[in-house]
Amino acid sequence: MVRKKFEVIMDNTYITKIFEGGSTGNPLGEIIALSSEICPTADHLLLRDIYKDLRSFFSGSHLFFQKSSLQYHDLRHSQMVLLATIRLLHGLHCNHMHISEDMLTKSLLSACFHDTGMLLLNGDTANSGTEYIARHEERSILFLDRYITHKNLDRKISKDCATIIHYTKLSLDPATFDLHSLEVQLAGQVVGSADILAQMADRYYLESLPVLYRELKEGSDCQYTSALHLMEHTANFYHNVIQERLINTFSNISQSMRLHFRERYKIDRNLYAENISKNITYLEQTITQCKTEFGCMKELLQRRPPTI
Domain for residue 9, yes or no? no
Domain for residue 78, yes or no? yes
> Which is more confidently placed, 302 or 184?
184
Enter the pTM of the model: 0.94
Q: What are the φ/ψ torsions at residue 214 (nearest 5 degrees)?
A: -60, -40
Task: Judge whether 221 and 134 are in contact, CB under 8 Å.
Answer: yes
What pLDDT digit, counting tens, does each position of 10-64 carry? 477 888 888 888 767 789 999 999 999 999 999 999 999 999 999 999 999 998 8
Q: In Å, what is the CA distance from 219 to each residue of 9, 76, 141, 169, 293?
A: 40, 20, 19, 16, 26
Domain for residue 61, yes or no? yes
Domain for residue 308, yes or no? no
Domain for residue 267, yes or no? yes
Counting the structural domains of the chain, the total is 1
**Distance between CA 295 and CA 308 in Å, rounded?**
28
Domain for residue 13, yes or no? no
Which letter does DSSP use for residue 291 in this model? T
**Distance between CA 54 and CA 116 in Å, rounded?**
9
Q: In Å, what is the CA distance from 148 to each residue of 3, 106, 143, 240?
A: 54, 11, 9, 37
What pLDDT digit, counting tens, does each position of 193-240 carry? 999 999 999 999 999 999 999 999 988 777 888 888 999 899 999 999
Where in the sequence is the domain holding 101, given as residue range(s)? 19-300
User: Which residues on adjacent β-strands are paired with residue 65?
Assistant: 121
Provide the H-helix boundaries in the chain: 2-19, 28-38, 44-59, 75-94, 101-113, 136-150, 156-166, 182-200, 205-218, 227-237, 243-244, 256-265, 271-290, 294-300
When pLDDT is cut at 50, 70 and 90, the band that residue 308 belongs to is low
Domain for residue 6, yes or no? no
Write the CATH number for 191.
Answer: 1.10.1300.10
Domain for residue 10, yes or no? no
Q: What are the φ/ψ torsions at residue 140 (nearest 5 degrees)?
A: -60, -45
Q: In Å, what is the CA distance from 249 to each residue of 109, 160, 179, 223?
A: 22, 18, 16, 24
> Which is more confidently placed, 97 or 304?
97
pLDDT of residue 190: 99
